[in-house]
Structure 1
Amino acid sequence: MKIIECEQGSVDWHLARAGCITASMFEKARAMLKSGPRKGQPTEAALDYAFKLAIERISGQPLDEGFETWQMKRGHELEPQARMEHEMQTGLIVQRAGFVMTDDGAFGASADGLIGEDGGCEYKCFVAPEKLRAFHIDNDASGIFDQVQGCMWITGRKYWHIGMYCPALEPIGRQLWWREFKRDEAYIEQLEEDLWRFKLLVDEYEAKLREKAA
């Protein structure tokens, strides 16, 4: 594992992510069509993501020129508050990590923090009611399971804390929902297999682009 010391959302952070298959996109990268003549093949969204990464590999720059959605910007702004609340509730010390990636640079994750030698954490600052309800009412974090296990795969950690931070719930003391996930070796084995298959697709697109340019 390599740790890139940088502020999330900074120029260095965007550059580190360019061409790298990131944990927040693992679910999209693994997505397969469930019906039709191309059943079992990558979805159009997965193909588009692979092509984007191939271009970024060639240019060394983010294809979106570092554009951030307002959701991403909000998350970066609220992250320090979420980390502080997490530390207060758990008594843990969270070390900021910036961006972590595999030694070959093929896969990476914007780890919001590392905990001791064995743990890590990620903070979400959703405002969409359906996402907030999934966490706070249904206690369901399955929508980010690929990202969670992916972070543990990349970092080699044994557990990961996911925190859902919503300042609007501070009046009732529920501004931070958090849960600990344990490393699931069987899940990670399948995740790794799928992601290496996706990486081959990115390799193929990059080769085709370079071939046409030659």
Structure 2
Amino acid sequence: MIVLNCAQGSPEWHQARAGVITASMFVVARSRTGGLDEKQQAYVTAMRSGMSEGAARDLAGYRAAPKAESIQRAIEGLPVGDFSEAAKAYAFRLAIERISGMPLDESFETYAMRRGHELEPAARREHEIASGHMVQRAGFVLSGDHLFGASADGLIGKDGGSEYKCLISPERLQRIYIDGDASEFMDQVQGCMWLTARKWWDFCVYCPAMEIIDKHLWMRTYQRDDEYIDQMVEELAEFEKLVTHYETTLRMKEAV
């Protein structure tokens, strides 16, 4: 990995991210439409878990083995369906950034992003107190080929890292605090472990409004899941091909 020691939100940070598929957007890059229905997914999950074809068929409710190409692709671990419109838009933006060498958003920062950057030092301090870890700020981490990157909020020792979210959406806070569900952030968490070659990651939600009941820091430690990462990397490689396709098409049009 390549570690760039630049402050998140700084001009250098925005420049480093230009044209790079970033961990916070992995979930968008992997999003697809026209995927498997519930019955097909049950069959694929059973087959990939090592269940026999007959048992998988019975579990999913098939009388005969399904022959759909999408099911066979899914069993082989290949992506199914077409990229979502959000994924296509993101790929096109990256293609333009690779051509220009500059961030297309021109360092635009939403209120939520600005709030996150402002509260991150406090979140890191609360995490250090709660966990006993000393957290090293990491800036931006790049893969060796400069195609993928992550704004790792912290690195811990040789094996760990940390991510801080300062959420304000009641719906997202409810999923975290009530349901204990941080699945929407797992691509980012596992992506950071992939790019930094770490074994575990502390995912933290910092909500100052909850301090009055001493629940302003929600923290869970997630272990590296190589099976999850392998699947994610395969799908990200497909997305990268889409970015390259857009870039090649744009350059060809320019030449004409």
TM category, shorter: over 0.9
Once the two structures are superposed, the pairs formed by residues 116-127 of structure 1 within 5 Å of their partners are 116-127=157-168
Q: Give, in angstroms, the shift of residue 212 of structure 1.
A: 1.2
* Equivalent position SS for 1:94: coil
Equivalent residue for 1:200, pick from 224, 241, 251: 241
- Percent of paired sites with the same residue: 59
Counterpart residue number, 1:181: 222
Counterpart residue number, 2:91: 50
Q: Measure the CA separation in 2 of the matches of 1:211 and 1:145.
A: 37
Structure number with larger C-alpha Rg: 2
Q: Give, in angstroms, the shift of residue 113 of structure 1.
A: 0.3
Unpaired runs of 5+ residues, structure 1, are: none
Return structure 1 stretches of 4+ with deviation > 4 angstroms.
Answer: none
What is the TM-score normalised by the length of structure 2?
0.81
How many residues matched?
212
Which whole-Å deviations, capped at 9, do the CAs of 1:116-174 have from their partners, x for residues lacking one?
00011100000111111111111111111111111111111000110000001111111
Q: Give, in angstroms, the shift of residue 101 of structure 1.
A: 1.0
Counterpart residue number, 1:20: 20
Q: Measure the CA separation in 1 of the matches of 2:184 and 2:253.
A: 39
For residue 17 of structure 2, what is the amino acid of its counterpart? Answer: R
Unpaired runs of 5+ residues, structure 2, are: 36-79
2:49 aligned with 1:8, yes or no?
A: no
Which whole-Å deviations, capped at 9, do the CAs of 1:9-66 have from their partners, x for residues lacking one?
000000011100000100110011036xxx7010111111000000001111110101
CA RMSD of aligned residues (A): 1.1
Equivalent residue for 1:74, pick from 115, 127, 137: 115
Q: Measure the CA separation in 2 of the matches of 1:164 and 1:119.
A: 17
What is the TM-score normalised by the length of structure 1?
0.97
Q: Measure the CA separation in 2 of the matches of 1:89 and 1:28.
A: 32
For residue 143 of structure 1, what is the amino acid of its counterpart? Answer: E
Equivalent residue for 2:146, pick from 100, 105, 122: 105
Q: Measure the CA separation in 1 of the matches of 2:136 and 2:128.
A: 11
Q: Measure the CA separation in 2 of the matches of 1:182 and 1:40.
A: 29
Equivalent residue for 1:191, pick from 232, 242, 247: 232
* Equivalent position SS for 2:7: coil
